[in-house]
Copies of this chain bind each other. A is one copy, B any other.
Amino acid sequence: MERVPILKIGEILLVSIQLDMSDQTALQLQEDLAERIVATGCHGVIIDITALDIVDSFVGRMLSSIASISKVLDAETVVVGMRPAVAITLVELGLSLNGIRTALNVERGMELVADARADEFPYDDELADGSDDDPETTSSP
């Protein structure tokens, strides 16, 4: 059975999906990702789908499910590299990627993870260094 590799880059886990996913591969990926999130303490998962010609309801569900699992484990999921044709087909099919953030490429995805993190935990820095910055400026989008 094929396994999709998970690459750790700084605080982020990067998954590049290049194969047509079977049920088995998809389940294995979810399991592997959950384990890696816990093992590494990463706060972001970036899924690259540049190689996919088609995102059908199966792949859509898989992405949603990965996003939900990651969320529970305190990690943001961002899907990057969607082709224009894929986006058009998704809308035509009426598939919505529930709870999934998207970005144009890996670099923007990384920024999105960092921003989402900053929005969610505006007092992180304050707690960490005990400084008394105005929370308003940190938490407003």
Contact assessment for B16 and A50 in the assembled complex, using a CB-CB cutoff below 8 Å: no
Q: In the complex, what residue of chain B is closest to A6 when comparing beta carbons?
A: B50
Q: Is the interface of A mostly helix, strand, loop or mixed?
A: loop
Interface assignment of A117: CB less than 8 Å from any CB of chain B: no
A26 to chain B, nearest CB (A): 15
Contact assessment for B8 and A105 in the assembled complex, using a CB-CB cutoff below 8 Å: yes
- Oligomeric state, in number of copies? 2
Contact mask for chain A residues 1-35; partner B; CB cutoff 8 A; 1 contact, 0 none: 01111011110001010110000000000000000
Interface residue tally on A, bucketed by range: 20 to 34
Contact assessment for B16 and A16 in the assembled complex, using a CB-CB cutoff below 8 Å: yes
Residues of B contacting A87 with CB < 8 Å? none
Contact assessment for B18 and A19 in the assembled complex, using a CB-CB cutoff below 8 Å: yes
Contact assessment for A51 and B4 in the assembled complex, using a CB-CB cutoff below 8 Å: yes
**Given A16-B18, A18-B16, A18-B18, are A3 and B51 also a contact pair (CB < 8 Å)?**
yes
